[in-house]
Structure 1
Amino acid sequence: MEHLTLASERLAAEAVRRLLLGGVVPRPIAWTSTLGPEGVPNLAPFSYFTVASTDPPMLSLTIEPHDSGTTKDTAANIARTGEFVVSIVPEELGEAMWATSADVPPEEDEFAVAATPPAPARHVSPSRVAESPLAMECVLERSLPMGNALLVIGRVVCFHVRPDVLDGRGRIVPERLRALGRAGGRYLGTTETYSLPRDRQGPPGAAACGR
């Protein structure tokens, strides 16, 4: 079957968005906690999220504005305080996470909206999600406007890891983490994984993929 060839500049913005969100999958979810101007906790999920660097450890988070064009509370809070916490969303907290995707007034505590308890961070002011198996405290490294969005780079200054998600070598086991991801407009779990052989050799002189 032949592929469709679609020039992005000739597509409507919504068509481009559908292709990106449906094709760049699965995407992990950064359940991001910040503090509002009056110290009210803000908690919001973002799936434009990945590792930016491992040495030093840094995460990237892309935050689009509201449909109205106004800045989201998370972006404003990070710009003002320079701090945020990313909690990974396990499958059992999916509905709680979904509750915080609503447009909630900044004076409302979104941990209460999610009915999920906070836990204190060690080095930053925002709380982490207590029931998350992995939370990462971040300080703002830099923020860059990218098209209609803001790319936020945070340096991880502290990890909170639940011991039962680790194996004997200190590696996270995906089946124990049970992290939710986005796939288009739907969600998916990460409880079924498989390995590919690492010692497969290609033609003589061929470089190993990804090395």
Structure 2
Amino acid sequence: MHDGTRRLLGDVAGLSDDAFGEPTALPGWNRRYLLAHIAANADALRNLVHWARTGEERRMYTSTEQREADIAAGARLPAAELRAWISSSSQALAADLDGLRDGPAWEATVITAQGLTRSASEIPWMRDREVWIHAVDLRAGTTWGDLPAGFLTALLDDVTSRRSATGGGPALAVTATDTGHTWEVAGTGTPVPVSATLAGLAGYLTGRTGTADTGAALPAAPALPPWL
């Protein structure tokens, strides 16, 4: 999580204020909106840390509408204030997590924005996904190929498990050509073989096949529903 945050903040630091208005890899999202989304996510995860530490229920967001309104408002901030929010929210979340230390709070159960009951020990992974994946989405220098192999492997474990649990998509037999790792995705029909590097598979299975380092590698892979 710390490594991904450093990578993301480094990419943000390299952007001019004017570049904040440029598009990202996510349709309809410019960099301002994406960065506000990332900052709001850190604040929301702090609510889960508070819940785990104190036992006082505190959901990530009070409502979907409030979440969207807060992100939209953040996207309209002056560039300097948006930069400060991204940095300060990330630092505050890291400090809150450090405050849990090795106590029983890590085993407390919390509820994610998707309504899933999870152990507080999964909060760092939730942020891990957020900073690394959105660093790629930002289109500010980081690509899927720059992400650590260990993170990509863990991400593929997560994504394939979620896709299998939710269903609604095609069955897949997935192979990483650079490591030999394999995954099965439960779904409809006979499993479709999909082979690519860890980076290519991560882009494809998270619904980001339009990126330069994944799109050309999987021309025949079936379309997938959202994973998260």
Bin the TM-score by the shorter chain.
Answer: under 0.3
Alignment TM-score, normalising by the size of structure 1: 0.24
Asked which structure has the greater RCO (Cα within 8 Å, sep 6+), the reply is 1
Alignment TM-score, normalising by the size of structure 2: 0.23
Which one has the bigger helix percentage?
Answer: 2
